Amino acid sequence: MTSSSTPAPESPRASESHRPLRRLTARGRGEAHRTATPLELFFDLCFVVAIAQAGIQLVHSVAEGHASEGILSYAMVFFAIWWAWMNFTWFASAYDNDDVLYRVVTLLQIAGVLVLAAGVSRAFEDHEYQAVVLGYVIMRLALVAQWLRVARCSDGAERTMALRYAGGVLLCQIGWVGLVVLPEEARVWVFLVMAILELCVPPYAEKDHPTSWHPRHIAERYGLFTIIVLGETIAAATVAVKAGIDESDELGDLLPIATGGLLIIFAAWWIYFVVPIHGHLRSNKQAFLWGYGHYVVFASAAAIGAGLEVAVEQAVGKAHISTLAASAAVTLPTALYLLSVWALHSRHFKFGITQQLVLPTAALLVICCTFLGEWAVLAAGLVSALAVVTGTTLTARMASREKGRRVNVPVT
């Protein structure tokens, strides 16, 4: 008879979890308590370094009157940052086994984004993309290695899917070298073609066997990255306001910008997190549209911070642009953020035309605020806050009506 003090034999799965090197196999989509890991949070923080660099260069471009060039360079660099982040996020949701090799390869991807961040200023100022492309290639080759591990540990349709991912990513990296070797006038077209090809890789790879990403985990990862980007936005705006006060001591001119900017960022957080989105991610088609659409959400959120910096510099006489242009640097990305969050999140939880029109109407009013001169940012902040109040009030009234209907239903 076995003694009660004898420990139970360890299961094969538990024994496997203690090994430094483990099979890279799919995790269950219905796995309980699936949350972001410390490595994923560290990954996000390092990626925001690159986003901050892109934002700084966007400020310089707009403040010097080169808005069109700056916005184009910002869109291109931000795509590289966002796409590498997104690919890792969805891969990790399905295959994170947290062994030593997985951690090392993930840290290599982080090194790649830091190389990319170091080259952002040259990409903006001199249109030289060597460091940006090098950093991007490092990140993407590390992801190829992860997919090859998956292929080695799987068979059938899952193996085919993993090899499609690895092959597609690898072929795209060859095309990105065109940003370095081709003439400058051809680079925009190379970027457009390669961006489209990159976006086509996941649908092609998963057409026969979708990955087992976790809806709650994905929603949490995107939400956390949104918080980090908004945090970087508010930090950049705060530093800009402080520098403006230190240099010019014109608090009266900066107070409307600071107040309006704070209201915009608070409203941006509220609007994004007002509803749980994971329940909407029921199919790969919905997930692809939702995931891809966040390029606009993240890029516009980061651009709001850059716009607030531009507005501060214009107010203290450091920017060589008009008040109208400085106002547009804040109002346009704010309106774009409101519209993109409505399209991806809010419209799925709104009932009736009144609720559906709150955010689109707010976006239109924010654009109109551009023409209010030095009060434009404050007005845009008040409109954003009013959108939050209106949406919350309408939702509360509808919930109250629904509760009243349920109470008055006769018992049969």
Contacts of 405 (CB under 8 A, 6+ apart): none
Q: Are 194 and 176 in contact (CB under 8 A)?
A: yes
Distance (Å, whole) CA 105 – CA 146: 8
pLDDT band at 283 (very low <50, low <70, confident <90, very high): low
Give Cα 191 distance to the centre of its chain. Answer: 20
pLDDT band at 1 (very low <50, low <70, confident <90, very high): very low
CA proximity to 26, closest of 140, 170, 167, 156: 156
- What would the CATH number be for the domain defined by 216-402? 1.20.1410
Q: Classify the C-alpha dihedral 174-177-179-183 as positive or negative.
A: negative
pTM of the shown model: 0.87
Tokens (6 digits) for 180: 């370095």
- The arithmetic mean of pLDDT across residues 257-282, rounded, is 84
* Three-class SS state of 70: helix
Distance (Å, whole) CA 237 – CA 345: 26
CA proximity to 170, closest of 201, 192, 191, 149: 201
Helix (H) / strand (E) element for 46: namely: helix 38-63
Please write the tens of the pLDDT for every residue from 395-405. 777 656 655 55
Q: Higher confidence at residue 1 or residue 93? A: 93
**pLDDT for 9:** 42
pLDDT band at 343 (very low <50, low <70, confident <90, very high): confident
- The structural domains of the chain, with segments of one domain joined by +, span 34-212, 216-402
Q: Indicate whether 406 pLDDT > 70.
A: no
Please write the tens of the pLDDT for every residue from 355-371. 778 889 999 999 999 99
**pLDDT for 15:** 45
CA proximity to 204, closest of 173, 151, 166, 152: 166
Distance (Å, whole) CA 311 – CA 327: 6
**pLDDT for 5:** 42
- The arithmetic mean of pLDDT across residues 13-38, rounded, is 74
Could you tell me what percent of the chain has a pLDDT over 90? Answer: 42
- The arithmetic mean of pLDDT across residues 223-238, rounded, is 90
Distance (Å, whole) CA 377 – CA 264: 9
DSSP characters over 98-126: --HHHHHHHHHHHHHHHHHHHTHHHHHHT
Task: Give 64's DSSP letter.
Answer: T
